[in-house]
Structure 1
Amino acid sequence: MSKPRRLSVDHWQSSLVTRIDNAKDLLSGLWDEMALSEEQRKERLQDSEKLVFDLLDNMVKYEQQQLEEVKRKCLQYRKELEELRHELGIGPISETMIPKGLAPSGNWLKNECKALIKKKKERMSEQLQVYQEVKEACDRIGWDLVTGDNISTHLVPTSRIMEWKKQKIEADTVYIDRIDKIKQLQSAIRGIVNHIGRKEFDDHDITLVDMDYDKYKAVLSEEIVQSFENLHTRANQSYTQWYENIQFEYDELMIELQELWEVCIVAECDRFFPKTFNPEIQTVDDIENLRNEIAQLRLKYTEGKIVYDKLREWLALWHEKLEYEDDSKNSKDKYNNRGGSLQARLKREAQLRNQVPRVLSELEALCEEFGKTHENIPTAGPGRMHAAEYARWLVQSYEDEKRIDKETKDDQKRVQLAQESRFGVSPSPVKSTSHRPKTTPSIHRTITTPASIRKTPRKPLFGLNSSKSLQDGPKTSSPKDLIYLSPRRIPFSPALSSIPSSPLSAQRQQPPKSPSRPWRY
């Protein structure tokens, strides 16, 4: 459907006059036919004239009102546009940009206001987002953010936005520094609490120590950091006092524990507690474990006292017997009967040979009798063997070591004989191991091998007679003073008779040793 053609004012007037003329002619014809008088005709025309005049007056009045409204809207849009441009930081309006006429200028101003309002909303959204981020960063460390203007309805200058962003960076840096410092203090305080326990601290202190700031968001103000520093200082003081007390208590308990270790014959591998208290690896729980260990060993010794006493009696005899055997092997003057010591020594060795197996038999019988009335037989040594089993294990270990030493010596003799028979030299001696621990660990000893050999001294076949001086005479091809020293022509010398011609002959001259017999009981 096509739009009606827009009429001009002149055309409207012409059409209206024509319409009135036609209406007048029609009315005149009708009134003539009705034979109305002039008065009647005027009366009817007055009513229509009033209606037409009122309509025209209303029309003019409405248009006047519209004109005033357009003027007012133009002023309003212009003022609003100027405020928006000023708020957005845009320069004033150029008059050349505004179209001529009230209606076009009003529409242009209206559209410009809509565009700037949309732009303002975008700026407001960005502004509120930046403000919210800055406010959260400042709230985390207890800082107050000064806004001044109503930021929810007014735009702030760009310089203010830049200040907010800078303040957010500073607040984030302060928060990171504070959270790192608090975590370090928490870690140090937790270490102290784990050592000395929680009894020295109240509920508020424990809450600070257990707070996980990675999961729970909290305000890390300067007062909170100061609270952690004060708590750390008090914790260090408590730790110092606790360490002095616990070290003294630990030393006292260790003295008692070592005594129980000795009487209960606890092996070194089962003595787990260090001799001194080390706060780096030990806590207050170790003190409680130490008390429990002492209580268990005390009960263990009380129940098996007769067995442990008999075992210690046998160990004393056994160690004394081993000392006599070591002295017999290593002492050079073992057969020196100075002051009758040899007789006393031999007598004591004979007593030990009888007492060691006898006391061991008594220990075995005692363990068997003890097992009939008690559930657990007292244990001793590595692996927590029964007391009698531990004693038998010591004897068997000693016999095995003696057998290994004898086999080692026999192997060395065979190697030496083979070396001498083939090369005429003997290998360097290799020290045999002993069942007794040496003062120097085997790992630190010099390793000796048969590679370093020494030559057996040989007798010279020719020698000079020093008792006879050279004489002048005819020089011949055979010197008179050069004497051939054959084995048959060597004069007998008591000093030289003790020197063997070779290690092999030395072994033949030595009396045969009696083979070592295992200890029997």
Structure 2
Amino acid sequence: MPRGTRKSELLASSLITSMNHTFARLMDIWDELGLLEEKRMMRMEEVKHCVERLLSRMINEEMAMKDRIERSILNSKKELEILSHELSLEEYKLDEGMTVLQMEKDLRVKLELLRIEKNERLEELRKLQEEDQDLCSELFVTPYYIPTGCMPSREQLEELKEHIKLQTEEKKQRMLIFSNLRSEIRHVLEEMGREPQSDLEQDAICGNEEDFTLTTENIKALKLLKEHLELKKESLLFTLNEIKEKVQVLWNRLQVPKEEQDTYLHTPKCPISTAIKQWENELLRLEELKKSNLKEVILRIREELKVYWDKCFYSTEQRNVFAPYYDDDFTEELLSQHDEEVVRMKRQYEKCKEMLDAVNKWESSWEQFVILEKKASDPNRFSNRGGSLLKEEKERMKLQKLLSKLEEELKTRIEAWEAEQGSPFLLKGHRFMDYVASQWENLKLQKEKEKQERTHKKEDSIAFKTPVKRPAGSCTQGTPSNKTRKLNGTTSIMSRTTVSAKTPLPTIKTPSKTKETPVRTPLHDSNKQTSMSSSQPGTYSEFKEAISRKSNKDVVFNSTVNENL
């Protein structure tokens, strides 16, 4: 496709035309002057040289410009390649068909943009690194690493920003933890009534929050300090409670008036150390008062000791082991021995409190069961037809099941306790199951004894009521019948009474219907079978098995029970 005529070419054509007119004008001037040909040639040569020099200079200048532009393009390409690599960008590619000037301009613009981006990145990196360095210095952590003199990529800058964000959050969390620990430590010290002593306490309490270095080691040190102070506080509270308990014991033993006790119990709240001093002074005062009232104090301690012995079900032999209890020489040493024994019994009671409570429950249930068993053996119980027999029988059976359940539970718990403590659990000097077996055996023997006593009383009553012969002449004549009719009902009754007095009394025999038939239960069957057996159960387990066998059989109850069942 032919290229159109350029304006520069038209301008060149006009320039040539202009130069032709110029040369023609020169020729006319020379003609008018009448210059010789030689002169004219010399002048024309001068004009030629002048024009050639001008055009040559212009051509040289344009060629120099072209070379400069081409060198600029090469330099720009090299710099663009370097910047693209530093900035982690793709290599810039020129469009095809571009002229030298277009290439130079395009490369120059692109190079300027990359230079601006490089400077912006470096400035942003500088600011971010300063911020990161400050945070990491406060937190004592390693800053985000970017090699010195290296141009950061966009990804590295984003990672650095994320790192700064995380460190900022970490600083906030540590500052919050530090503030909480600081307030808690200050509160504990105030409760203890103690001033900060160590450097860490001084920094944590008295220093400025901004000056505290929020390192993980310092945070851990504050946590340990808090735990240490809390342990000291608990120790002081334990000491204070011990002193209060001692004072309370002495108040009770010395019978200190209630009003005087209230002055200490209702004192205004104060630091623990101050409270310890106050209660220590009261304890010293009571100790002095105790020395002057040794006998009364020891006697009250003995009463307290007896209470703990009863709670722990101590037998007489176990109580006799503590010989100072029976010593009448009231001295400081005797008082100290009683104090130690009370403390020992308190500890033993606290150690066995749960099982002792369960034993108390068994004891109370056992007492109710024994009462119902005695009622069940009472012949006069059949005179009550109000339904109490059925209620008592149900209650007795319920208690019997409860006792069995409690015994099994206590047996398991006591065995575990003995294995853990390495010592036997004694109840009135015996192992619990042996004690329970003896109680059941004593109840069985008591029932047998009462049964024998009732049998003897019945035989004695029958022997006492056997009639003898009437003495002669004891009979009287009866009242005439007509008189009897006049006296109506009263006379008739008296007549019958008189006649019955004359009639010989037959021998009294106990009717089978009035024979005493006590209520039978599985426990009674077990007792009856046990009394008929030639050998007694050797252990409590055999005794319980015998009760279980009898309780599974049919049991004959009295008529009241059968009607309701």
TM-score (norm 2): 0.38
